[in-house]
Amino acid sequence: MTNLNLTRQIIERHLASGEMVPGREIGLKIDQTLVHDATGQMAMLQFEALEFPRVATRKSLVYTDHNILQVGFENADDHAFLASAAKKFGLYYSKAGNGICHQVNLESFSRPGDTLLGADSHTTTGGAVGELAIGAGGLDVAVAMGGYPFFLPMPEILGIELTGSFGHMVRAKDLALEILKQLGVAGGRGKILEFYGPALADLTVTERATVANMSIETGAITAVFPSDDLTRSFLERQGRPADFVPLAAEPAAAYDGYMSIDLSSLKPLAACPHSPGNVKEVAQVAGTKVDQVAIGSCTNSSLADLLSVAEILRGRTVPPHLSLVIAPGSRQVYEELARRGALADFIASGARLMEVACGFCNGVGQAPPTDGVSLRTSNRNFPGRSGTPSASLYLVSPETAAVSALKGVITDPREISGPINISLPDRFSTDLSLVIPPAPAGPESEALTIIRGPNIAPLPRFASLPKSIDGEVMLALGDNVTTDDILPAGAHILALRANIPAISKYIFHNIDPTYPERQKKTPGFVVAGLNYGQGSSREHAALAPRYLGLAGVIAVSFARIHKANLCNFGLLPLELNNPEDLKALEKGHKLSVTIPEQLAPEITLTVKNLTTGRNIPVKLMVSERQIEMLAQGGLLAQMAQTR
């Protein structure tokens, strides 16, 4: 028997079905779940539709962090819906003002060795404390909330050895970007990144969180760090010493692949427009004029990050042309910044203080000017993500962001000579009064009604798979289409997350605004290259196109979460046997796919191109369980049959 790495140990302890053979579907028992105010609406509606009386997990939470601008009634309606559903169904409700789900969850709820399933792709952040923390669509999370396992293909575990130590002004963000530089935005697909090695002795939990957070940008399922002395110290400072358990890979454990990074060799890095995988040295883009610097997001909004920013800004001001915005990650961080006087440093520097929320990160406020350059500490710089389609976003460390904010141009932070010394409190404020507990199980919760304002629309229902799918190619797209391309972020669209008919009008809005109308008139296919659906977990990117009449997606390959979401809503994810065949599928071509009586996993189907007369082989690379759900019209229908 080979010695087990840490990820395999956690998987083994949570294995509900399947074998730990890479690529084969496994079911995992889920300890904790999280949803938020952009994904939770659907998850709660689906939980309700599944007729679960109450959550069956150790702990389930709803966070209010994405949709808190409240320019109309929609967001507040959504909050009231979520709060009332949480109270009734046994979930904890983190109110607006408490912070970004991943930062708050790390501080207050993540536990080493647990499984966490979150309706958000950056749920991976929990890997910082040795938790197996995975992002998924809202429907998968709703099912896990009901006590059912979560299914995924058994990952390959990529062992990443960290040696050396960070040089002057090189930070965890630069490590996260170095991993992206090496793996690209698809190199982590099918993998979990597990870290080990001597450098971990100096990598704090919040630094690990930055790395775990951005692991999803490589396409990886998640990242896992050991639970060691630094984890113990973190949990003690968070007032949770009892949550600590030591966890590590067994000695000389085997991995499915290996990588090694010497932290001493790293330089300050930047992900350049328009992909987190387009990584260059900051020195290579230094001198680029910057219109906006935005510091915060679930990647870099810890107390350590922001104290370091305050040190750099202290006593200096930003130039007149530049807008500096800072959004602390949690109320705990915000309060401590205030106690330390760091907020005063921010204010004096000319910074604009934002709410403790996602905010600028996904276009909810602070959109840069037309053709503007924005330097951000967040994790995604996809086109249009900021709310300004023509803006160029660079992703950097908080230190690079702060130094550049003062200079007004992208600046290598090593220009600052002295070290930055910060100290963290022995004990953080652990006031959880903004986390509202559920009503006790029994008559009290059963009597509660769920508040439904006009923004809460009923769930659409879908028919089972027909014998043949005929449709037109609605869009022919390239590689790495993101879910931000399929359903853009931004305050006005996010406000419609509880309303599929309304939000469906924005599908592919930045690529082809005529798509929704065309798709409604005739069934259709979307055709794309590699890694279709990378990025966020938003299931609306599958659910809303299906609502409009999309029949399936034909692509060279799919991103994991989006592929699962397509199946969950009865949409066929068809993978081209030969990537060259992509050229034979053009917008406007009429296609027909005959569905055999006996569908099976990994079956080859034929796409008949009725326009050109060509037959194109495609594979349906899904599990037995997914075949069944596709046949029945999606996971809701399948669950209704089996329960």
List contacts with ligand SF4 (CB under 6 A). Answer: 66, 100, 102, 120, 122, 297-298, 358, 361-362, 378-379
CB of 561 to ligand MIC, least distance (A): 8
Residue list 62-81, contact with ligand MIC (CB under 6 A): 66
- DSSP class of residue 250 equals P
Query: What does residue 357 show for φ and ψ, rounded to 5 degrees?
Result: -170, 180
C-alpha to C-alpha distances, 132 to 12, 91, 128, 627, nearest whole angstrom: 12, 20, 9, 27
SS3 61: strand
CB of 591 to ligand SF4, least distance (A): 35
Tokens of 251: 């000695």
* Core vs surface per residue 472-483: b (16+ CB within 10 A) or e: bbbbbbebbbbb
What is the pairing mode between strands 156-163 and 150-153?
A: unpaired
Query: Among residues 362 and 455, whose Cβ is nearest to ligand SF4?
Result: 362
CB of 493 to ligand MIC, least distance (A): 10
Measured distance CA(310)–CA(41) in Å, rounded? 37
Measured distance CA(345)–CA(330) in Å, rounded? 18
CB of 204 to ligand MIC, least distance (A): 23
Q: Which of ligand SF4, ligand MIC, none does residue 39 bind to, with CB < 5 to 8 Å depending on kind?
A: ligand MIC
Binding mask 358-397 for ligand MIC (x = CB under 6 A): ----x-----------------------------------
Strand residues in 168-318 grouped as ranges (E): 191-196, 222-224, 257-262, 269-271, 279-281, 292-295
Query: Among residues 120 and 311, whose Cβ is nearest to ligand MIC?
Result: 120
Q: Is 251 exposed, middle or buried (0-12, 13-18, 19+ CB in 10 A)?
A: exposed
Q: Which of ligand MIC, ligand SF4, none does residue 88 bind to, with CB < 5 to 8 Å depending on kind?
A: none
Binding mask 115-144 for ligand MIC (x = CB under 6 A): -----xxx------------x---------
The answer to whether the beta carbons of residues 29 and 115 sit under 8 Å apart is yes
Q: Does 568 bind ligand MIC (CB under 6 A)?
A: no
CB of 300 to ligand SF4, least distance (A): 10
Any alpha helices (H) in 135-253, and if so which ranges? 138-145, 172-183, 205-215, 229-237
Q: Which of ligand SF4, ligand MIC, none does residue 189 bind to, with CB < 5 to 8 Å depending on kind?
A: none
Q: Which of ligand MIC, ligand SF4, none does residue 537 bind to, with CB < 5 to 8 Å depending on kind?
A: ligand MIC
Query: Among residues 137 and 328, whose Cβ is nearest to ligand MIC?
Result: 137
Query: Among residues 135 and 413, whose Cβ is nearest to ligand MIC?
Result: 135
Q: Which of ligand MIC, ligand SF4, none does residue 363 bind to, with CB < 5 to 8 Å depending on kind?
A: none
Q: Of 634, 383, 422, 404, whose CA–CA distance to 509 is shortest? A: 383
Q: Does 39 bind ligand MIC (CB under 6 A)?
A: yes
CB of 100 to ligand SF4, least distance (A): 5
Strand residues in 440-570 grouped as ranges (E): 468-476, 524-528, 550-555
Contacts of 442 (CB under 8 A, 6+ apart): none
CB of 120 to ligand MIC, least distance (A): 4
- DSSP class of residue 154 equals P
SS3 313: helix
Query: Among residues 329 and 535, whose Cβ is nearest to ligand MIC?
Result: 535
Query: Among residues 537 and 632, whose Cβ is nearest to ligand MIC?
Result: 537
For the chain, give the number of residues. Answer: 643
CB of 377 to ligand MIC, least distance (A): 14
User: Candidates 334-342, 444-452, 472-480, 531-539 — which segment interacts with ligand MIC by CB under 6 A?
Assistant: 531-539
- DSSP class of residue 271 equals E
CB of 311 to ligand SF4, least distance (A): 23
The answer to whether the beta carbons of residues 185 and 275 sit under 8 Å apart is yes
Query: Among residues 330 and 536, whose Cβ is nearest to ligand MIC?
Result: 536
Query: Among residues 296 and 634, whose Cβ is nearest to ligand SF4?
Result: 296
Query: Among residues 358 and 403, whose Cβ is nearest to ligand SF4?
Result: 358
Measured distance CA(570)–CA(469) in Å, rounded? 12
Measured distance CA(370)–CA(262) in Å, rounded? 39
Contacts of 274 (CB under 8 A, 6+ apart): 381, 382, 383, 392, 393
Q: Which of ligand MIC, ligand SF4, none does residue 538 bind to, with CB < 5 to 8 Å depending on kind?
A: ligand MIC
- Helices (H) and strands (E) counted in the chain, each on its own, are 22, 27
CB of 23 to ligand SF4, least distance (A): 28
Query: Among residues 197 and 387, whose Cβ is nearest to ligand MIC?
Result: 387
- Cα angle at 15 between 10 and 16, to 5 degrees? 150
End-to-end CA distance of the chain: 38
Q: Is the dihedral of CA 369, 375, 377, 382 positive or negative?
A: positive
Measured distance CA(303)–CA(106) in Å, rounded? 13
Query: What does residue 351 show for φ and ψ, rounded to 5 degrees?
Result: -70, 150
Q: Does 46 bind ligand MIC (CB under 6 A)?
A: no
Query: Among residues 219 and 471, whose Cβ is nearest to ligand MIC?
Result: 219
Residue list 482-501, contact with ligand MIC (CB under 6 A): 489
CB of 210 to ligand SF4, least distance (A): 12
CB of 66 to ligand MIC, least distance (A): 6
Measured distance CA(55)–CA(72) in Å, rounded? 31
Number of residues that bind ligand MIC (CB under 6 A): 13
CB of 609 to ligand MIC, least distance (A): 34
Query: Among residues 310 and 327, whose Cβ is nearest to ligand MIC?
Result: 327
Q: Which of ligand MIC, ligand SF4, none does residue 100 bind to, with CB < 5 to 8 Å depending on kind?
A: ligand SF4
CB of 68 to ligand SF4, least distance (A): 11
The answer to whether the beta carbons of residues 301 and 100 sit under 8 Å apart is yes
Q: Pick from 218, 349, 381, 537 the residue near ligand MIC by CB under 6 A.
A: 537
Query: Among residues 301 and 638, whose Cβ is nearest to ligand MIC?
Result: 301
Query: Among residues 179 and 622, whose Cβ is nearest to ligand SF4?
Result: 179
Residues that bind ligand MIC (CB under 6 A): 38-39, 66, 120-122, 135, 362, 489, 535-538
